[in-house]
Amino acid sequence: MPGSGTTLHTTQVGEAGPLVAFCHGLFGQGKNWTSVARTLAEDGHRCLLVDMPNHGRSPWRENVDYVAMADEVAQLFSADDPVALVGHSMGGKAAMVLALRHPELVERLCVVDMSPVAYDGTVEGGFTPYVSAMRSVDLSALTRRGEADEQMREGVPSATIRGFLLQNLRQDRESGTWGWQMNLDALGDHLGVLGGWPEDALSDLAPYDGPALWVAGAESDYVRAEYAPAMERWFPHVRKVTIKGAGHWVHSEQPEVFTEVLRRFLR
């Protein structure tokens, strides 16, 4: 069920004010950031929720890599209206690459529980069971969403994570057939790329000179002390905040704390 059109699908929250854009993580959608965006809109920000390539209602692409992803997202912005860019996980890497390749578009950068490093199998090991579970669902025989949940239960024991993944399951209104809204095959086949970092493609670029916030979940392994030199190399004006009681999905596990941290960064 690929998205229609040639440009990325976006949803705007808030009518006026400085622009804030959100790049979600792997298997997510822009709408995952709706509650945070509504709070920021009340503060006077104009928020853009982006469905990343191969996700949500955005088009499917054969090429899955961070440079292509960042360049496609960059087309949404203008140097006349620079963006405060927020990215989580996969979206965090894409946001970092975008800021490095197109610094004139990014007024400030917030990276949520992600580092500019290659993770040596962490992403593949963590997400491969999810891919396998989704691929195991018999879409042709599906009559209701609950059946998919039952089929995925063994591979994905967490009901919370199953619910997150199943947000991508859609039923065609006309045919009644079920399908994954994101490009499961392309994403599943490129977990190694998504766990990596395009060091060679960025080697000739200058560090990003704008303000940067590095938000870590205290219970996550995606931000470690040994990753700080890489972050400081690319983002010399970075400030790190660690949120207690949060793992990788910081903004959903500690939404009030995360939102307040982001609000202060945007002031």
Q: Which residues are catalytic?
A: 89, 185, 248
CA distance 258 to 58: 27
**Is residue 35 a contact partner of residue 74, using CB atoms and an 8 Å limit?**
no
